[in-house]
Amino acid sequence: MCMFPSKTLLQYLIENLINHPLQKELALIMSDLATIGKIISREVNRAGVAHILGQHGSVNIQGEEVQTLDVLANELCKQYLRKTGHFAALASEEEDGVVDMGEFGENAQYIIAFDPLDGSSNIDVNVSIGTIFSVHKRLPNISRTDEKQFLQKGSDQVLAGYILYGSSTVLVFSFGDGVHEFTLDQSLGEFLLSREKLRIPPKCPIYSVNESNTPLMKEHDVMFINFLKKDGTRTARYIGSLVADVHRTLIKGGIFVYPAIDAEHKGVYKGKLRLNYEAKPMALLLSQAGGLAIDGQQDILNKIPYSLHERTSLILGNADVVKEYETLSLTNNT
């Protein structure tokens, strides 16, 4: 057995600074997010033991029941990130508005949007969940707590990624020059490099969709899902945690489809996933790995959010198959 572990995250970030000296602060941000990931990973792993599973009893801005671990992860992210002094403002799935960083954010150059614990409906059944983050430069000449700080295009993200709490804890991120994966070695308490410059495999062997929604989808979405199943070469996998479904897609190839649905049977079709802290960061990772993420008709990275908690449809995975969806959607959209 090898005595020497692969490169630690810290070693990687320091080495990266030789080629990208201007990324010093982003490297520090990445290191802080990794620390948060370690703490949440510990809490997720001991949640059952600590009897902190279950519901918190409140409802968040999205109308969903808030889980205890969601609250814990959100508080941890807020308090820890505030003290780093890197962020002028923060937005979270669990917060109605922009969170002021107070005196710590006065001279900060970045803003961060995150989902502290994505896939919350999977928390108390030991299914993988994750933390998603998206970092932008702070916009000048706009108050730092103005929502407009967060209405920036996905292509302007300077750092995006996720931490997946699964059978192991993995950190996947991009500064816009490739996607890298680090796996947490619990005994060392270190994230170790497991995949550098990750590329999505060329084949698309898996389709991932909540098929219970097909009666609520537009006709062309149902057509597309039938097309994916047509020749029997693909298998189905749907975890219902975006982080886990995206991670599998990046590693194994495939397509994830969450189109707009008519959930209220009123002829109004809406996406479910959040643009700022779900779709945008995943889109950066997919595009950096050679894949693609669209809302059906345009690249997610080109979308300018019109509100903090805007929802979107999301189709991501192997670029050629995602483009087939785009063509079908553009020719059939009503």
Q: How far is the CB of 185 from ligand FDP (least distance, A)?
A: 26
Residue that the structure tokens 């300018």 belong to: 304
Cβ-based nearer residue to ligand FDP, 9 or 255: 255
Amino acid occupying residue 131: T
Q: How far is the CB of 41 from ligand FDP (least distance, A)?
A: 17
Cβ-based nearer residue to ligand FDP, 175 or 224: 224
Alpha helix segments (H runs only) across the chain: 9-19, 24-45, 68-84, 219-229, 242-252, 280-288, 319-332
Residue 292, phi then psi, degrees to nearest 5:
-155, 145
Asked if 295 contacts 303 with a C-beta cutoff of 8 angstroms, the reply is: yes
Cβ-based nearer residue to ligand FDP, 150 or 258: 258
Residues at the site binding ligand FDP, with contacts judged by CB under 6 A:
118-122, 210, 240-242, 245, 272-273, 278
Closest listed residue to residue 255, CA positions, set 234, 269, 271: 234
Contacts of 43-50 with CB under 8 Å at 24 or more apart are: 43/69, 43/72, 43/73, 44/69, 44/123, 44/129, 44/165, 45/165, 47/123, 47/124, 48/126
Q: How far is the CB of 12 from ligand FDP (least distance, A)?
A: 28
Cβ-based nearer residue to ligand FDP, 64 or 146: 64
What number of other Cβ atoms are within 10 A of residue 60's Cβ? 20
Q: How far is the CB of 242 from ligand FDP (least distance, A)?
A: 4
Three-state secondary-structure class, residue 244: helix
Give the residue at shortest CB distance from ligand FDP: 121
Q: How far is the CB of 126 from ligand FDP (least distance, A)?
A: 14
Separation between Cα atoms, residue 65 and residue 18, nearest integer Å: 46
Q: How far is the CB of 144 from ligand FDP (least distance, A)?
A: 27
Cβ-based nearer residue to ligand FDP, 316 or 319: 316
Residue 61, phi then psi, degrees to nearest 5:
-60, -25
Cβ-based nearer residue to ligand FDP, 32 or 94: 94
